[in-house]
Amino acid sequence: MALLRLVARRLQRPTGAARLRYRLVRVACLVNLVFLVGFPVLFSLVAADLLSLTDAIDPWLRLLQLCSLVGLAGTGLAAYETGTARSWLGRLNNGALVLAGVSRCPGSGSPSICSAGT
């Protein structure tokens, strides 16, 4: 805990545009979580009752697609932040967010971007 407090004291708090980018990346991470949880929940509900697969489900699918696009844009912003980070800890943090963002294939619910082509 003491090491964490020491590192936290040394970190500079972002201001201005950097602060906005920081918050947008965190919102994109939340949107990615909604996407990753939403598709399995939606598919499990549909698998339970195939008659529910009608036009009424289209808004939910569109919402999940929108979450996917917003999450992808946020992942791009995290990649930009990785290049502009001043400290190695900031680069490591943003790099981990980029890897987490691209470790899924947007729109397919696939757990890995590598399996999207197969």
Q: Look at 108 and 34; give whichever has higher pLDDT.
A: 34
Neighbouring-strand partners of residue 25: none
Residue scoring higher pLDDT (118 or 78): 78
**DSSP reduced 3-state for 72:** helix
SS3 of the chain: helix, strand, coil, percent, to 5: 80, 0, 20
Taking only the tens place, the pLDDT of each residue in 40-67 is 888 888 888 777 777 888 888 898 889 8
* pLDDT tens for each residue of 108-118: 454 444 444 44
Separation CA 3–CA 80 (nearest Å): 28
Q: Kindly indicate the confidence band of residue 1, based on its pLDDT and cuts at 50, 70 and 90.
A: low
- pLDDT above 80 for 10: no
Among 17, 13, 35, which Cα is nearest to 80's?
17
Question: Which tokens is 20 given?
Answer: 């906005």
Give yes or no for residue 78 having a pLDDT over 60: yes
